[in-house]
Amino acid sequence: MECCRGRYAEAERQFGPAIASRDLDRYHRKGPDATSRLLLEALSDQVRRGDSLLDIGSGVGVLDFELLSNGVQTATLVDASPAYLHAAGDEAAARSLSDRGASRCGRLHQAGRQPCVRRRCDAASSGLLLPRPRVAASSGDGTRASSAGVLVSPRSLVYPLMAGARECAPTLLWNPFRTFVHSPAAMDAIVTQAGFSRIHRARTLAWSIDVYART
């Protein structure tokens, strides 16, 4: 990801090599965190052997490594932090999975078009898409041919607090990094309009994990 270095200074400052190393070490010692475990459990019935995975806001690739070990054939990681993607790449090499994964640093809508694209910062929500090979082949667009997806977003009660923190914290800390905190209801409406229905919901104190299937 050398071509991405310097283009995402705010994300590199917020999620640099030390943070990436810490997250990967914690994964090695403790496995997926509570939110990730809920997501993996919620998605278990939707995963089919040979599926592809698009992971938006992938971090060091915890979900990708877990799903690649449970039937998913290939994974594409998208994140605004080059340090996260470098750490994920090193982990993939250590697990002999480099040939089953790819990394993209930049905007989601351009991630499949070019290896390096620009993005202002990471978002305060993330998602997974599981394209089926036979469906994706007919449409030529893996994201539009997705058979299932997961959206992780702030719970409705937490959303106003996160939105307020988004505006205040960076100014108080002299930190140029910014997040985008979107309304959970608005995101649900967009996914529904795209032809998906929510089939499962799990929650932690702060996060909602929603599984969608194409109708």
CATH number reported for the structural domain that contains residue 25 in this entry? 3.40.50.150
pLDDT band at 154 (very low <50, low <70, confident <90, very high): confident
Query: What confidence tens digit (pLDDT) does each residue in 118-131 have?
Result: 222 333 446 677 66
Helices 17-30 and 82-94: crossing angle in degrees, nearest 10, is 40
Q: What is the pTM of this model?
A: 0.75
Q: Hunting for tokens 């997501």 — which residue is that?
A: 39
Domain extent for 15: 2-214
Backbone angles phi, psi at 12, to 5 degrees: -65, -35
What total number of domains does the chain contain? 1
Residues 46-90 pLDDT 10s: 888 889 999 988 999 999 999 999 989 999 999 888 899 999 999
Where in the chain does DSSP place strands (E)? 52-56, 74-78, 101-104, 126-131, 146-154, 196-203, 207-214
- pLDDT exceeds cutoff 60 at 136: no
Predicted confidence at residue 156, as pLDDT, reads 66
Specify the DSSP element, H or E, that contains 202.
Answer: strand 196-203
pLDDT band at 135 (very low <50, low <70, confident <90, very high): very low
Higher pLDDT, 149 or 168: 149
